[in-house]
Structure 1
C-alpha cells in the first residue's frame, strides 16, 4: 500500500511541476510579446528619436 501511495504522490508532483513549467512558459511568451509591441510602437518618435516606454 505504501509503495502505491508513493508512486501516486510522485506522479502528482511531476504533473504539478509540468503544469507549472508550462504556465511559466506561457507567461514568458506573453511578456515578450508585450515588450516587443511596446518597443516597436515607441521606436518611431518625433524627429526620429527613439523613445522608451520603460526606465532602466
Structure 2
C-alpha cells in the first residue's frame, strides 16, 4: 500500500477528537488534553496520515 492511500486506524476517542478538529471545534480535546498529547506524540505519523487521507476506527 502506498503512503498516499494509507488510512490509519485510530481508537474511537481519537476519532471523535479528529472529527471535531476537522469541523473546527475549539473544544475538540476537552477533558482529553493529557491523553491526546501523549497519543499525538506517540503516533505522530499515524496522525499525519489520518489528517491527510482519513482514518478508520480500530475494532475494540
Relative to the length of structure 1, the TM-score reads 0.28
Which has the larger helix fraction?
1
* Structure possessing the higher relative contact order (Cα contacts under 8 Å, 6 or more residues apart): 2
Structure with max Cα Rg: 1
